[in-house]
Amino acid sequence: MSDLEPVTDRTHGSPVPAAADTGPTPPPARSARSRATERVIGVLALVGTVFTVWLGLWVTPPDRTQGDLVRLVYLHPGVAWVALYLAFGLAAVSSVLYLWPRTRSLFWDRLAAASVEVGVVFNVCTLVSGSIWGKPTWGVWWAWDARLTLTAVLLVLFLGYLALRRIPAEPEVRARRSAFVALFAVLDVPLVHFSVNWWNTLHQGATVLNPGLTLKIHGSMAWTLLLGFVSLTLAFVWMLLVRYRIGVLEDWLDANELDAALAERRSEGAGPGHTVPSEPVGVA
Amino acid sequence: MRYIVAGYVVILGLLFLYAVQIVWRRRRLARAVARVVATATATAHDGAGDAVATSVGRHP
């Protein structure tokens, strides 16, 4: 290989002008509009969450049965909603769109990866806050109840998805196998949802997403619950946007960093008094 | 009441820490991209002159 030939991009198979041209093309920059949108969503999520906390802790009344413990309802179902239905649901849809030949694009793979990572954080929040609620209500931190166990299984499955993505592979291979794993893992979501109907469990039945879609709480409690859902959904969207950009930058670096390093080494070797070998050792 | 406060602190604390972490990751990666682009561009300019000198040395 000549020193002035473009270095082949080993990740995407496209030539990258590393040494002979003006360097690799930087990843597309975010537009001012997308930055502004991200900022607005972030601010709305923050303000909504602060209001939810204020209403949940100081304004809404205690429950007749649970007393003050009911205040956990303003956050716990919200994080569960984001993790199970939004994040893992979006990951499943993105995975299908990646596997579908007509819509195949690494965009869907990056979106699924971002969604799963954010979803895992919300899933951890769901399990920990549920455990904190369970201790004063049931007397134990953890019970091998159907809903709790299936939610923990869901977390393990999607942690496996994230681990799988870290195995070095071509982007297309990684995207394909990740999509299959996401579609397998998401099969657990309907099991979690219907577990309270199918088995006798400690966990209460659906409060909002019940078969009749009727809210089983009223007044300020219902509005605070809905505000919590909206705020956490906005927080999810904001995190998804930030995490998606991380995926774009990581993929770009994977594709270009090695070539840039090679070009730099080649330049160092071509200094005064050095002879550049025509075939660099260890480089195909 | 301590269970309620613990629940709120855990949820909001985890989400806040994750938000800070992804913003920090994005900034670090953006800086790395800028560094690679700058290095490659500088190398391309330097390399052009070196390549001429090298080819002259190989074929006297």
CA distance B17 to chain A (A): 10
Does residue A223 have a pLDDT over 80? yes
Q: What is the per-residue burial (b if ≥16 Cβ within 10 Å, else e) of A70-105?
A: bbbbbbbbbbbbbbbbbbbebbbbbbbbbbeeeebe
According to the model, what pLDDT value does residue A178 have?
95
Which residue in B12, B2, B39 sits closest to A122, CA to CA? B12
How far, CA to CA in Å, does A143 sit from each of A66, A78, A150, A263? 19, 21, 12, 58
Total Cβ atoms within 10 A of residue A213: 8
pLDDT at A283: 39
pLDDT confidence tier of residue A269, bands split at 50, 70 and 90: low
Q: What is the pLDDT of residues A106-148, one digit of tens each?
A: 999 999 999 999 999 999 999 999 999 999 988 899 989 889 9
- Using an 8 Å Cβ cutoff, are A199 and A24 in contact? no
Asked if the model's pLDDT at residue A258 lies above 80, the reply is no
Contact B54 A68 (CB under 8 A): no
Interface of A with B in 128-167 (CB under 8 A): 128-129, 132-133, 135-136
Q: Which residue of B has its CA nearest to A272?
A: B50
Local confidence band at A284 (pLDDT 50, 70, 90 cut-offs): very low
Distance CA A179, CA A71 (A): 38
Question: What pLDDT is recorded for position A278?
Answer: 43
Q: CB–CB of A181/A161 below 8 Å?
A: yes
User: What stretch of H or E contains A36?
Assistant: helix A32-54
- Rounded to the nearest integer, the mean pLDDT of chain A is 83
What whole-number percentage of chain A has pLDDT above 70?
80
Confidence at A95, pLDDT banded by 50, 70, 90: very high
Residues A280, A30: contact at Cβ < 8 Å? no
Q: Which domains does chain A have, with CATH numbers?
A: 35-257 (1.20.120)
Q: Write out chain B's pLDDT in tens, 60 residues.
A: 889 999 999 999 999 999 999 999 999 999 988 888 887 777 766 655 554 444 443 443
**Between A26, A133, A242, which is nearest B22 by CB?**
A242
CB-based burial of residue B12 (10 Å sphere; 0-12 exposed, 13-18 middle, 19+ buried)?
A: middle
Q: Which residue has the higher pLDDT, A213 or A11?
A: A213
Please report the pLDDT score of residue A271 as a whole number.
54
In one-letter notation, the amino acid at residue A113 is A
Q: What share of chain B is helix, strand, coil (3-state, %, to 5)?
A: 95, 0, 5
Record: contact B4-A3, CB cut-off 8 A: no
Q: In B, which residues are within 8 Å of A162 by CB distance?
A: none
**Mean pLDDT to the nearest integer, A54-64:** 89
Q: How far apart are CA A208 and CA A193, in angstroms?
A: 12
Average pLDDT, integer, range A241-266: 84
Q: How confident is the model at residue A37 (pLDDT cuts 50, 70, 90)?
A: very high
Distance (Å) of CA A135 to CA A128, B1, B4: 11, 13, 11
Distance, CA of A129 to CA of A111 (rounded, Å): 27
Residues of B with CB under 8 A from a CB of A: 1, 3-4, 6-8, 10-12, 14-15, 18-19, 22-23, 25-26, 29-30, 32-34, 36-37, 39-41, 43-44, 46-48, 50-51, 53-54, 57
* Residues in chain B closer than 8 A to A249 (CB atoms): 26, 29-30, 32-33
With an 8 Å Cβ cutoff, is A209 touching chain B?
no
Task: Please give the radius of gyration of chain A, using alpha carbons only, rounded to the nearest integer.
Answer: 25
The pTM of this model reads 0.80
Name the band, by pLDDT with cuts 50, 70 and 90, for residue A91.
Answer: very high
Whether the CB-CB separation of A135 and B3 falls below 8 Å is answered with: yes
Q: Output the pLDDT for position A25.
A: 78
Across the interface, of A69, A121, A249, the residue whose CB is closest to B33 is A249
Residue type, A186: V
Chain A residues touching residue B50 (CB < 8 angstroms): 267, 270-271, 276
What amino acid is encoded at A164 in this protein? L
Residues 39-98 of A with CB under 8 A from B: 49, 53, 56-57, 68-69, 71-72, 75-76, 79
A4 pLDDT above the threshold of 50: no
In chain B, the residue whose alpha carbon lies closest to the alpha carbon of A54 is B8
Are A253 and B32 within 8 A, CB to CB? Answer: yes
Provide the percentage of residues in chain B whose pLDDT is more than 70: 72
B54 backbone dihedrals φ, ψ, rounded to 5°: -65, -45
Say whether pLDDT at A6 is over 60. Answer: no
Domain boundaries, chain B: 20-60
Hey, is A135 helix, strand or coil? helix
Quickly tell me which residue has 């400690």 as its tokens: A202
pLDDT at A22: 59
Question: Which residue in A108, A28, A26, A47 sits closest to A234, CA to CA?
Answer: A47
Is residue A205 over pLDDT 80?
no
Average pLDDT over residues A243-270: 80
Q: Mutating which of B22, B23, B26, B55 best tests the A interface, going by the most A Cβ atoms within 10 A?
A: B22
Pick from B39, B43, B54: CB nearest A276: B54
